[in-house]
A and B are shown apart, each in its own frame.
Chain A
């Protein structure tokens, strides 16, 4: 029956799926190639999915044929099938085996600026052959030779010791909020806010952070430090009570400092200090971690300002409810589903109004 175009049986769905996959048939793209060659895609997908699993993320990128929103969605949905086993002990990013570490606040920092792998300072000329070919012994995601065993203390610790950055009282104690197990409501606990941003969509977050920098908000911080490295994670041993290292995750951390970012400190004396915005993303997620740090600070500034948020970036509900890529893409694309019934219902109202209008004119 051809009476409506959108209705179809199982056959139509199978056919549509077949067509979608047919285009990539025989491309020779392997999951391994994606994991090794499309690192940034794999990192972005893990970050948005909230699941650190490079091999599964690479599989998702391959199955989604490079549609990263779709890949993140695949991995996040898979995450729903996993029970929560427990929490790690709080991780100290000072223990990262560093891959990259840069401070934009100081020219000379203890341990030095460690550029690591980046194209930040290169000419972006499409198709230009690289002059420098990688040396076989250079492993771009291996730890660099910084400090003892690749570890360096954090710049913000130095700033805190010097009384330049407010010492913040922890806003929560006990178990952190778990975004994957509870609905986030605003005002959110800070652990919930940071989790929400950590799973956010990089593009959406960049746009909002950018709006703050352009004046739709007051926050325009300096990066005390951003670092990329392998962060060791520990869990408490159930019998011995000792902390046991269970592995490392590659992640990017950003600490942004500035005035006009809310105080969040304790006591009068700290009002003269700078405050901090925090960003952390799985993998090499520098753009996202910077945006996260700006938004973390902007939300606090908006909440503490007497006259309220100075722009969308400072509005917690606006930011947190609209930066989740999986929710946003899902809902925007649901408009492709049939809406005959609701449309019929609104047509009925429109016709009723038109009918009445016509009567008045008579």
Chain B
């Protein structure tokens, strides 16, 4: 310990470091990221810091982004696929403020895309990083709330309780009833929670060319899917994993899309159900392209 550092700054008001966190903290995060990349799908504990956003509001993803971000980066934040959702707006303005970084709404322009609950519709490239905000990193939480026991199950690769859980849902309901947060096996080894993305987005993660990082701030875990890694949903030979279906006639009311994940909405006047793209930036792009034509 240096006495100078104790006496260094005696100004009474708060003062802030680049990208909010102090440098040793960012270094720790980067080291833990490297470890996570080296062991695909394995949850690496880290000393999660309290952030200027509430726990459970994306602090894990935010810490990853702030540990990675530099002045040359371009940052994009989405929530439910939308850049305009309140938390995405807040996240983007926070990162721009503390890291003086350029932000974008265009998935293709970003170097770091931070997301809650979606994978963008446009495929990411190998030079882009997708950062997920994770509420519950433990995939076994559905069958074993005690982390100490779940940890042992991972160590022994004992996922029988999860298989049983899926079997029971088929036996009771004739279907696997897991909606979002569908459990996957990464690199043929670890069971992983892909965060609450819809099943629609899962196939995109399989053998993806880009790095996916997952940060759970409150639960203090980081994990990763390195580029070109297999991501396989749990399924039975006779009861397959299936992505969400939309009714046959469903299409985006704005851009006419029939091949994107749709938000289901109700028209205030007519009371009728209609749909729009969940990925608003993609929807805007398609709309613009269509209008040009």
Contact = CB atoms under 8 A, between A and B. Distances in A.
A122 interface: no
Interface string B202-245: 00000000000000001011000000000000000000000011
B198 interface: yes
A4 B278 CA distance: 12
A238 interface: yes
B123 to A, nearest CB: 19
A6 B85 contact: yes
A340 to B, nearest CB: 5
Counting chain A CB atoms within 10 Å of each CB, the highest count among B14, B47, B54, B80 belongs to B54
A344 interface: yes
| Contact count band on A | 35 or more
B38 to A, nearest CB: 18
A182 B22 contact: no
Interface string B44-83: 0111111110111101000000000000000000011110
Contacts, number: 191
Contact of B148 (A10, A186, A331): A186
Given A186-B147, A334-B57, 17 more contacts: A4-B263, A77-B51, A78-B14, A81-B20, A81-B22, A83-B5, A85-B1, A180-B49, A181-B28, A183-B48, A183-B221, A185-B151, A321-B147, A339-B196, A340-B278, A344-B264, A349-B177
Contacts of B263: 4, 340-341, 344
B82 A345 contact: no
A136 interface: no
A-B pairs with the 7 shortest C-beta distances?
Answer: A330-B55, A86-B1, A346-B179, A183-B45, A331-B56, A183-B220, A334-B56
B3 interface: yes
B218 A84 contact: no
A83 B25 contact: yes
A237 B218 contact: no
A79 interface: yes
A27 interface: no
A13 B196 contact: no
Counting chain B CB atoms within 10 Å of each CB, the highest count among A80, A179, A239, A341 belongs to A341
Contacts of B93: 10
